[in-house]
Amino acid sequence: MNFFRRFSPLRAFRDLRAYLQQRQPYELGFMFLSFIITVTLIGMLIHDSRVQAPPKEPEIIYVQSWPLNRTDAQIAAAAKVNDAKKKAAAEKLAKMRAERRAEFQRLDNQLDAWGL
């Protein structure tokens, strides 16, 4: 326990005061500014950590049920309808991708015109 007898708050305060007296005024200003910035950032992180995320909504998956006595013609008709829906969705996705690609191409052309 002799190790801890050498440490006292009064000695620490005196040492800090002696250190600060040797510093130039601008060094103290920057030290104070850096201290304030650090405390502010840590305070903001602590404040943000207390914000609770909204609960995630459950994902509902609907399953289509079919009667057991369906005929092959009914199955083929349903497949045609589903294929048409898939084709329309694929065309819509391809159109959206083409529009997005064109947007990026315009941006790239503008950046090339600026020399970037």
pLDDT of the residue at 79: 92
Model confidence pLDDT, tens digit, residues 10-28: 888 999 999 999 999 999 9
61, pLDDT greater than 60: yes
Task: Give residue 12's identity as a one-letter amino acid code.
Answer: A
Higher pLDDT, 71 or 6: 71
Two tokens, residue 87 = 């084709």
Higher pLDDT, 112 or 61: 112
The ranges assigned to domains in the chain are: 8-49
**Average pLDDT estimate for 67-76:** 90
Using DSSP, state whether 52 is helix, strand or coil: coil
pLDDT class of 1 with cuts at 50, 70, 90: low
Using DSSP, state whether 5 is helix, strand or coil: helix
Q: In Å, what is the CA distance from 1 to each residue of 5, 10, 12, 85, 115?
A: 7, 19, 19, 80, 70
